[in-house]
Structure 1
Amino acid sequence: MHTVELLPDAGLESAVREMWSRLVAAGLPSLATHGHATNRPHLTLATAASVEGLAVAGLPVPAELGAVRFLGRAVVWEVRPTAALLEVQARVCAALPDPWPPPGEWVPHLSLALRVRPAQHEAVLAALGDPPRAGGWFVAARSYDTATRTVTGLA
């Protein structure tokens, strides 16, 4: 499988990494400890069997972060679904064979931690505190290949 991901500007990336660091400092799961070279804050637009020939148009696109919440076993920072962001995601999905999730089911977010147990929820919220108002831009796109564990820029 291949992902289609948007990458944040330096300021927004720094805000996400700060949240990752808060979790590490509290001894909780955090994507800061994920050691793969491709690990960095990103917004996944879709996954598909192939992204061959895909170019992501419409960047940069504004990004506004909302609340921190739990999404399954993940801790995520919501990304407000602006019209511009929804348009980029819809165009990407229209260009891919069998994309997932389809536009109407997409929950835009930046992941902070995975594999968080329910017993850790209270500690996670305490460690993250009241998240700062954060915003910026998604400035680039890439694809992550789950088979080869490599990334490719999508221009």
Structure 2
Amino acid sequence: MRTVELLCSPGLEEAVRAAWDRLAAAGLPSLARNVHPTNRPHLTLAAVEAFPPGAEERIAALCAAVLPLPVRLDRIEVLDGSAPLVWLVRPGPELVALHAAVWDVLGGHERGNPWHRPGRWVPHLSLALRFRDADRRLARAVAGVDRPGGEFVAARSYDGESRTVALLSGPASAYRATGPERR
């Protein structure tokens, strides 16, 4: 699997990490417990089996042309009733256009994750991967104390086979995880 992901500005990343920490402190599922070095708040634009030839360079150019993009987070939801706990992203027209352009480059890849395809995409930042809808109210009270804003400042790609990430666009400083634990 290969992804196209947008990375958060330092302030927005810290706000999401703080929500992860509050969830964990309340005994709820949280991405704070994922210690893999690639784990950090991000918005996934696409997840596909593999990139077609030349796609990485074209996607990098698309992202470079629009980043940084302003973003505001919205409400906290559980997708599909018993799956990820997410902080929804209010998608502006530039973000919607970037998402569509990335999928155009990928050629409407049929074997990708359907949650990320145009028409089904729900832009979000994940807070926990496995979450019961019954705990949503508590999660909102614990994690969603405000609706922070910031920017998406860089783009990366995750390679599921090697479990590594590569910077696609943006300053190298934005690519490094922020926060004292460098999750």
TM-score (norm 2): 0.78
User: Does the aligned pair in 2 maintain the 1:3–1:45 contact within 8 Å?
Assistant: yes
Residue type of the alignment partner of 2:146: P
Counterpart for residue 49 of structure 2: 49
User: Does the aligned pair in 1 maintain the 2:6–2:155 contact within 8 Å?
Assistant: yes
Q: Secondary structure at the match of 2:15?
A: helix
Which 5+ residue runs of structure 1 have no aligned equivalent?
none
Counterpart for residue 68 of structure 2: 60
Determine what percentage of the aligned residue pairs are the same residue: 52
Q: Equivalent residues in 2 for 1:4-153 (5 A)?
A: 4-51=4-51, 52-53=56-57, 54-55=59-60, 56-57=63-64, 58-72=66-80, 73-97=83-107, 98=109, 100=113, 101-128=116-143, 130-153=144-167
Which 5+ residue runs of structure 2 have no aligned equivalent?
170-183
User: Does the aligned pair in 2 maintain the 1:2–1:48 contact within 8 Å?
Assistant: yes
Deviations 1:106-153 (A, max 9, x none): 10000001111344334323322x531311100000000111100011
TM-score (norm 1): 0.91
Residue type of the alignment partner of 1:27: G
Indicate the structure with greater helix content. Answer: 2
In structure 2, do the counterparts of structure 1 residues 13 and 59 end up closer, same or farther at CA, with 3 Å as the change threshold? same
Indicate the structure with greater strand content. Answer: 1
User: Does the aligned pair in 2 maintain the 1:67–1:131 contact within 8 Å?
Assistant: no
